[in-house]
Structure 1
Amino acid sequence: MAEPYIHKLFHRKKLDQQNQEGKESMAYINEEVKGSIYVTEQGLTLEKDADKALFVYPWKHYYDWADVYELDTMQIGDIGENLSVLEMDEYAVSLGDTFQLGEAIVQVSQPYLPSWKLARRLQIDDFALQMQQSGRTGWYFRILQAGNIQAEQDMELIDRPYPQWSIAACNEAMHKFKEDLRLADDLLQCDVLGKTWENMLKKRLRGIPLRTKRRLFGPE
């Protein structure tokens, strides 16, 4: 089996804009990195959550989206990923997988939760819903050890504590088997699970409704 491979590397850069209400906009550009870049626990996503330091997305999914929406305009990086990867997908990657990536050490923290903000950026109204239902979500890395990383580089798997919890299995537990509270509790026991997913599963176990429609389609 081929080693996981970084095809392209991107760094999000915030745009200084305001929305119609005069509030600061979350708009950004996803700029391709040529050469190496030093990553710390803050990562390259503009997220404040260290569990979301790097957004990883399989390169092959772009072909699937081109077929679904009958378009050829979507380019690698448009989904907002920091790492466009080969030889990795949601079935091959598990929660807690730890990789040597250049000088850095990274760990899978949680799947990406599809959002209306991405759908709006792509100008495809149901993209977040399609992304969630298809399971082509990608995932996040947290940074365990800072260091220089670059594209066209292999990743070496150095630890796999939860092989039973592939990203695909996590997505099914969250989005497909919503009534299976035992499954939710089992996933919650993973000590490497990111805070966003941890909080959502805790709400589910307490019977608190999750605002899924708002996350997928935005405020009404």
Structure 2
Amino acid sequence: MPYIKTFSIGQPKKMVYGNEKEMISAIGKEKVKEAFLTKEGFKGDGVADLRFHGGPDRAVSIYPYEHYAYWKKEFHAKLADSTFGENITAGNMLEKDVHIGDIFQLGDAIIQVTQGRVPCSTISKRTNLPGLMKRMVETGYTGYLCRVLEEGMVRDDSTLQLIEKHPQAISVLYGNEVYFHRPKDVEGLRLLLSLPELADEWKEMLQKRIDKLVGVK
């Protein structure tokens, strides 16, 4: 049974990293008791770079709780709550078990998985672990993003429950494998594109890959 381990939101703010370098990022989210989830995301939540974050297809970010133990062991490092800037740190929701298009009840809201998350360098900067982002890509342990089908209040003790498994059952982990490691796999690209629920940005990017591979001008 899926469950919420940590529920966090936050606005962009200054982050100091490395040798006293500074950047503006919303990765440093903080735990909250409740927040209203809209089609654009949680009230009180925000993103710093709209090119790569936010929007209706990326309204909710989820990261599997089990990966924390994996990374702590591999990097011998302590990781703060919501290290990866996710809204929901969830148990029993691994990428291999969650499918693009799956629909979940999240408190009073209903969400749908749209894509795997594409990790950015901010994760490595925040954790001071230069190899972490690369390893997230290599393993596919990226977490994933969701759109909001029905708005509603979410609390830190809300129920998180699968209400509709997508009939094609194409896992987030498979999507990550094709996206990151099999860029010339036309069959795999087309399989992902067969999902109407896939995020629009991924659809456009995958179609461009296919067009290039098959020689469409």
TM range (shorter): 0.7 to 0.9
Letter in 2 for 1:125: P
Mapping of residues 134-213 of structure 1, within 5 Å: 134-207=139-212
The root-mean-square deviation of aligned C-alpha atoms, in Å, is 2.2
- Equivalent-residue separation in structure 1 for 2:136 and 2:71 (angstroms): 9
**More divergent stretch after superposition (128-137 vs 191-200):** 191-200
Deviation at 1:57, TM superposition (A): 0.4
Contact 2:12 2:46 in 1 (8 A): no
Contact 1:45 1:82 in 2 (8 A): no
Structure 2 stretches of 5 or more lacking a match?
16-21, 48-52
Structure 1 stretches of 5 or more lacking a match?
18-23, 209-220
Identity percentage over the alignment?
A: 28
- Residues 207 and 120 of structure 1: CA distance in aligned 2, closer, same or farther (over 3 Å): farther
- Counterpart of 2:30 in structure 1 is 31
Matched, 1:66 2:72: yes
Mapping of residues 109-120 of structure 1, within 5 Å: 109-120=114-125
- Equivalent-residue separation in structure 2 for 1:107 and 1:7 (angstroms): 19
Contact 2:12 2:24 in 1 (8 A): yes
* SS of residue in 1 equivalent to 2:29: strand
- Counterpart of 2:58 in structure 1 is 52
- Equivalent-residue separation in structure 2 for 1:151 and 1:7 (angstroms): 8
Matched, 1:84 2:77: no
Letter in 1 for 2:202: W
- Equivalent-residue separation in structure 2 for 1:189 and 1:96 (angstroms): 11
Contact 1:10 1:81 in 2 (8 A): yes
- Equivalent-residue separation in structure 2 for 1:206 and 1:122 (angstroms): 38
How many residue pairs get matched? 200
Deviations 1:38-72 (A, max 9, x none): 1101114524421111110011101110111112x
- Counterpart of 1:97 in structure 2 is 102
- Equivalent-residue separation in structure 2 for 1:45 and 1:64 (angstroms): 28
* SS of residue in 1 equivalent to 2:159: strand
- Equivalent-residue separation in structure 2 for 1:139 and 1:7 (angstroms): 16
Deviation at 1:201, TM superposition (A): 0.7
* SS of residue in 1 equivalent to 2:141: coil
Q: Give 4+ residue runs of structure 1 displaced > 6 Å after superposition.
A: none
Deviations 1:171-191 (A, max 9, x none): 111122222112101211210
- Counterpart of 1:132 in structure 2 is 137
- Counterpart of 1:122 in structure 2 is 127
**More divergent stretch after superposition (157-166 vs 101-110):** 157-166
Contact 1:109 1:192 in 2 (8 A): yes
